[in-house]
Structure 1
Amino acid sequence: MSSGSSVRYEKLRTTDNYDEQDSEQENLEAEAEEVTVFISQTLGQQHKVRRRRSVTCVRLSVALLLLGLALGFVICEWHGCLSEENDPGGHTAAPGHSGMGPKQKGHSRHHDDEDHREGEDHDHHGNSGSHEHQHPNGLYHHGVVITDSTVCSGIGRRILEEGGNVVDAGLASLLCLGVVHPHATGVGGVFSAIHYNSTSRTHKAMRSVSHGALSAAYGIPAALQGVKQLHTLFGRCEWEKLFSGAVKLAKDGFDVDQVLAAALTSNREKILQSNLCDLFCDGNDTTKVLGSRVTNQKLAELLQFVSLNGSHFPESLALKLAEDLPLTERRGFVENVQQCRVEIDDPLIVEKEEYAVYGATSPLSSGIISDVLGKAGEQNLSPWNNADLKRSAYAYIRLLTAGRLIYNSSLAKENQSVEDLLALNPVGSHIGVLDGSGNVLIISSSLNSPFGSKRLLPSSGVILSNVNLNPADNVLLWSCPLIVKLKHNDGDNDDDDDDDDGVLAVGVTGGLSAPFVAAQIIMSKVRGGKSAQDSVTGPLLHLETGSSGSLSGCVSAVSNRSDVYRLLLEREGRLEGVGRCSDSTLALILQGHAGHVGAYGAPAAGAHADGY
């Protein structure tokens, strides 16, 4: 009833001669008669009521229609009729091999706010006719790949979508990086990796190395031999499929990205003085720049050959690579290439009450990580907290002091000096892959220094590394692929289906500071309770040489004009701001959270996540 209307209840008179004598009789009959109710309203009010009723009916009809359409789409998608080849958007991968396929842990297509604390915007977008979600902050449903190349991250993601596991995706991304970032990795290099299998709950550390006598001018290629062994042991998809993306890029060409452009600029003179100019020069003694096109037809042919001859390629690969070497070097080179293999170990760096760290690192790097984490625990050093800048600055200076002592002590035990290690100028690329089941692979790959030996093999398009030290201990010295297993404090045990939500993957490569930075990322996430993203992108201390060969400090992710930098400078006396650190450290972190997987990295130019 509308407000302002009046109601009266009347009995209609049947004759004009109505009198009081009839009233008593009518009262007796009232219970048996129908009472008519008159609502007194104006004509305008009656019109409004009718219009409101009409609008309500229309709204109800539209709502029912939309509900019917929504239910239709849900039923249709459930039965797979909206996707290609009856696969709903690639959301359901092939059954897992060794437990490494994406697992849907009761995951619903409807997500609450808890699911998106690290990615509030949850927009829909189409991909190959599928119904997917876009996560701008690095969160995905089923799997994620992060590398220092947008193209290579995309290649790894497609392998996951098409039924490959984390090992397949990681190896395909590694082959891609060897094409688009030839200054840091490739067929001529080596790699280390850490793998976690969520089904068997096992960690495996892997390193591709050669134990043969090495040349003083170049290192022995070990990457492809390692790729083959890992795929044989842990891979799922077809061998040839791993190479398709890399072959296409090498054959058709790729655009120089920001990472490669910076390497070309900083190594211009060395490139001009070597046959690397055949690939990376535009003429007139100028190296290619950002956006320039690079093709490597010979490398495309080599990769294609290997992809079609997986059963016996190590022998033929060695002969192919040796074609461009002097006759006196060929025999030893071939023998060393054929002896390359992957060393697989059960890793454990450090175990604490709250967590355990597993890694494929050198003994020296493992010791530094363990000692830094131990010292931080002893001194109760907290990660950076913007709510208490002074306390944070004091903690960081204490951490820097501890880092100096740990490095100097560790290097003295190995009879090595800071100057010798800095002379290596190590660079590398890294790959991180995490699927919805909690399976993880982190790979760090390197030619040692930028463009390795600066020696291009014309017949194969391969750049040889300058790994002329013992690769088991030194080449991968500052390469830190790590897995951190968080221990539950609520009584959960290893039989809990959600136990893999406590797995973090951390990768840091390149530069003297890699193990120091890796320890800080773990400390921020485990002890500081920071998000995965904040742990890797927040202020991090790096080490560099100061006066008289001593170690000085550098802090990343801050501005020279910030309060953070000012407070650190007041206490330390010499610190460099963001972008000024002398090392080339790249860092990444992956974590499963609330039914999603996420990946983040720093610096931004070296961190490109792609998932589905």
Structure 2
Amino acid sequence: MGTSSEVKTALGTRHLPSKSGDYLTEETAIHPSYPLYATRKRHCCHGSDGFTVISVCFFVLTSAITFALIIQIHYGSPEVTPHGAVATDGEKCSHIGIKIMQEGGSAVDVAIASLLCMTVIHPHVIGPGGSGVMLVHDHKSNQSVVIDFMSDIPSSHKSEVPLQQDTGGRSIGVPGLLRGLEYAHSKYGKVPWSSLFTPSIELAREGFNVSAHLEQSLKRLNVTQVDGITPFEKTFFPRGLMLKEGDFLKRENYADLLETISINGAESFYALDFGVEELKALRAAGSDIHVRDFENYKVRERSCIHMTMEDYTVITAPAPFGGPQLLLALEMLRNSNLTQASPALLYHSFIEAIRRSYRSFVELAVVEEPSLENVTQQLLKSNFNTSIDSTITPADPTVLAISDQAATTVSVIDTFDQYVAAVAGLGSFFGSRLMTEHGILFNNHLSNLPNSPLPEKDEFSRVRPLSLYTPVILTDYKQVCGERVVLSSPEVGAAAQIISQLIIRQKNLIDAIAQPRLTVKPGVDEVYREDFGEGAKMPADATNSLKAMNHSFEVLHQPYASVNGISKIKDNLVSMSDIRGGGVAHRLESSPKT
């Protein structure tokens, strides 16, 4: 793996001086409750003789201290500046996050500020009407936790009554985004709650240029004419014309909402100032959500799940998120001897692993909450040592089809060695398409529920809709100072392909994210290929070989799922924003020597 000093991009690296003398390093977008470690002491020294190791380490330590004291006496105290990184789908949001880090914010603070910024510039993907997950890992104390703020099922919702469509009022789950961010801040925040909102409030009031990602998402709607009456139309089709990349957009009403939440907390969204507006819009659209559903919403902490793969521990989120499917897919790939496999065999294995693991994963959709952890562990154990052969598994049209997952992803490593992988969104692009006057788009997460009765809906047994949101942290379980990777993905398939490229094919983070990816959709035999430039296409010989194996392909139109990541080896950082999301990652580093 390359270190940050070895990473060069086509556009180079810009250094932006800050008041404190640190530099904000901008990296250009690249084209294309587990046993956390063994119980032995964590260290970077290795040897077969424990006494020898201790003696050598003691000698090195005392020599280093003596040398440092001599240097300090002769030259004075050196200034050592910690550094960190953030990768998001928006350059402005990465910049906001790194400024929060510079002001002493934790990785959780940075993630919250970055997500809030994304609610401003990418309202089609994330907003207060959405939900998500945050995986937090403290590398020094070796502790991890999953913060689950996925949408809840309204108490009066009857899942056995099929939805007529994937959008609309009945598709809306009780949103958890703001409650989840507030909960995470209460546990891990270091800067005031209101300070995390200020940059996004200013951005919404002052305005910003529409991204290519937003324009591409609007094109997917295939809307040819609008009346410009609803808040949705007024926002995305001002004066009857669809927003296009580069258009200037202000969101002053949304800024008012953010300001209220920054002062009064998440409760102001759920029950106070804007509650009447929300509930009126929800009821008018046929939603099953009542006041009590907002009041009863609770953030859940979950234990992470994990597996070992080569020298890495793969840490991820349990159900209702995509972690179980990810581990199932990686288990199949690990056992399939892909180190020297041809590109065609590699991509065939990706397709099969994603399709087969999905079929097992969706069985968790109807498991009662108290049994979810045990059933998940049984599912993972039952697939141990499975592998991929040359067989093509036909798609099963009867399985629960989770809709295309649109979400924004944020990865952070801070100056305290806290790592955060966060994924949050509205479900599919534009969620339910129901929007309030203050710019709140509601999710459509209930479109992922099975058409069968769910367990009793009390606080302890209530399930949450399955989601493919997949936060991941990789650590070298042999060396504390070995490679650590933070990845956040809106879907399992992308995460599985990148992790396999990293671990099995031993590619660096930049190349692993930039590799062409395939999308496998539930219940569909066709495999979807990306098509956004020659450099990101699969090699023609690999495509032809896969077709010869009877795989069939369709073109996947933009926008694509983006996976943002950060790699750290010792103190060297590489931060990566996936070009698929259009973002730019930023790093906080010590000033370069002059």
Q: TM-score, normalised by structure 1?
A: 0.69
1:466 aligns with 2:444: yes
> Structure 1 stretch 183-192 or stretch 328-337: which is displaced more?
328-337
The offset of 1:396, in angstroms, is 2.9
The letter of the residue matching 2:488 is: G
2:546 corresponds in structure 1 to 571
> In 2, are the aligned partners of 1:219 and 1:468 still within 8 Å (CA)?
yes
Determine which of 153, 156, 163 is the counterpart of 2:94.
153
Determine which of 115, 119, 141 is the counterpart of 1:174.
115
Change (3 A) 1:377 1:560: same
- Give secondary structure in 1 for the equivalent of 2:295: helix
Instruction: Give, in whole Å, the separation in 2 of the partners of 1:427 and 1:125.
Output: 32
2:386 corresponds in structure 1 to none
The letter of the residue matching 2:213 is: V
Residues 391-411 of structure 1: per-residue CA shift (max 9 Å, x gap) = 333333244334433334544
The letter of the residue matching 2:235 is: L
Residues 283-337 of structure 1: per-residue CA shift (max 9 Å, x gap) = 1x21121121222222211111111113853532563543633779899532212
Instruction: Give, in whole Å, the separation in 2 of the partners of 1:255 and 1:583.
Output: 17
Larger C-alpha radius of gyration, 1 or 2?
1
Change (3 A) 1:446 1:576: same
2:34 corresponds in structure 1 to none
1:373 corresponds in structure 2 to 330
Within 5 Å, which residues of 2 pair with 1:431-450?
431-450=410-429
The offset of 1:137, in angstroms, is 6.2
Change (3 A) 1:145 1:272: farther
> In 2, are the aligned partners of 1:271 and 1:454 still within 8 Å (CA)?
no
Instruction: Give, in whole Å, the separation in 2 of the partners of 1:482 and 1:198.
Output: 14
The letter of the residue matching 1:185 is: I
Q: Which has the higher contact order (CA 8 A, sep 6+)?
A: 2
Instruction: Give, in whole Å, the separation in 2 of the partners of 1:611 and 1:320.
Output: 42
Within 5 Å, which residues of 2 pair with 1:260-271?
260-267=214-221, 269=223
1:394 aligns with 2:345: yes
> Structure 1 stretch 560-569 or stretch 144-153: which is displaced more?
560-569
2:59 corresponds in structure 1 to none
> In 2, are the aligned partners of 1:145 and 1:610 still within 8 Å (CA)?
yes
1:335 aligns with 2:292: yes
1:480 aligns with 2:466: no
The offset of 1:277, in angstroms, is 1.2
Determine which of 150, 164, 181 is the counterpart of 1:227.
181
The letter of the residue matching 2:293 is: N
The letter of the residue matching 1:517 is: A
2:492 corresponds in structure 1 to 515
- Give secondary structure in 2 for the equivalent of 1:463: coil
The letter of the residue matching 1:508 is: S
1:591 aligns with 2:567: yes
> Structure 1 stretch 177-186 or stretch 436-445: which is displaced more?
436-445
The offset of 1:364, in angstroms, is 7.2
> Structure 1 stretch 251-260 or stretch 474-483: which is displaced more?
474-483
- Give secondary structure in 1 for the equivalent of 2:567: strand
Determine which of 101, 126, 130 is the counterpart of 2:17.
126
Instruction: Give, in whole Å, the separation in 2 of the partners of 1:289 and 1:127.
Output: 33
Residues 509-566 of structure 1: per-residue CA shift (max 9 Å, x gap) = 1xxxx21221222222223221111111123333147xx8325363678849978222
The letter of the residue matching 2:154 is: G
- Give secondary structure in 1 for the equivalent of 2:539: helix
> Structure 1 stretch 428-437 or stretch 580-589: which is displaced more?
580-589
Instruction: Give, in whole Å, the separation in 2 of the partners of 1:383 and 1:482.
Output: 25
Instruction: Give, in whole Å, the separation in 2 of the partners of 1:606 and 1:174.
Output: 15
The offset of 1:598, in angstroms, is 1.9
Determine which of 234, 238, 257 is the counterpart of 1:278.
234
Instruction: Give, in whole Å, the separation in 1 of the partners of 2:262 and 2:220.
Output: 34
> In 2, are the aligned partners of 1:114 and 1:594 still within 8 Å (CA)?
no
1:529 aligns with 2:506: yes
State percent identity of aligned pairs.
20
Change (3 A) 1:534 1:245: same
1:191 aligns with 2:132: yes
Number of residue equivalences: 476
Instruction: Give, in whole Å, the separation in 2 of the partners of 1:202 and 1:175.
Output: 26
> In 2, are the aligned partners of 1:218 and 1:453 still within 8 Å (CA)?
yes
Instruction: Give, in whole Å, the separation in 2 of the partners of 1:311 and 1:570.
Output: 53
Higher share of residues assigned strand? 1
Change (3 A) 1:331 1:487: closer
- Give secondary structure in 2 for the equivalent of 1:462: coil
Determine which of 256, 272, 280 is the counterpart of 1:324.
280
The offset of 1:500, in angstroms, is 4.8
1:212 corresponds in structure 2 to 154
- Give secondary structure in 1 for the equivalent of 2:293: helix
- Give secondary structure in 1 for the equivalent of 2:108: helix
Residues 179-238 of structure 1: per-residue CA shift (max 9 Å, x gap) = 110101101100111111123211111111335325615332221111111111111101
Within 5 Å, which residues of 2 pair with 1:274-423?
274-283=230-239, 285-310=240-265, 313=268, 314-316=270-272, 319-322=275-278, 324-325=280-281, 333-352=290-309, 354-362=311-319, 365-382=322-339, 391-411=342-362
Q: CA RMSD in A?
A: 3.6
Change (3 A) 1:333 1:178: farther
Residues 572-604 of structure 1: per-residue CA shift (max 9 Å, x gap) = 345659x73688322122111352322214334
Higher share of residues assigned helix? 1
- Give secondary structure in 2 for the equivalent of 1:152: helix
The offset of 1:430, in angstroms, is 1.0
Instruction: Give, in whole Å, the separation in 1 of the partners of 2:109 and 2:466.
Output: 22
The offset of 1:417, in angstroms, is 5.7
Change (3 A) 1:601 1:557: farther
Instruction: Give, in whole Å, the separation in 2 of the partners of 1:197 and 1:372.
Output: 26
Determine which of 247, 250, 253 is the counterpart of 2:207.
253
Change (3 A) 1:533 1:383: farther
Instruction: Give, in whole Å, the separation in 2 of the partners of 1:257 and 1:561.
Output: 20
- Give secondary structure in 1 for the equivalent of 2:87: strand
The letter of the residue matching 2:174 is: I
Instruction: Give, in whole Å, the separation in 1 of the partners of 2:26 and 2:249.
Output: 32
Instruction: Give, in whole Å, the separation in 1 of the partners of 2:223 and 2:399.
Output: 23
Instruction: Give, in whole Å, the separation in 2 of the partners of 1:291 and 1:297.
Output: 19
Residues 250-278 of structure 1: per-residue CA shift (max 9 Å, x gap) = 22222211111212232252993653111
> Structure 1 stretch 228-237 or stretch 202-211: which is displaced more?
202-211
The offset of 1:447, in angstroms, is 0.8
The letter of the residue matching 1:378 is: N
Instruction: Give, in whole Å, the separation in 2 of the partners of 1:153 and 1:549.
Output: 36
> In 1, are the aligned partners of 2:15 and 2:24 still within 8 Å (CA)?
yes
The offset of 1:144, in angstroms, is 1.3
Within 5 Å, which residues of 2 pair with 1:94-109?
none
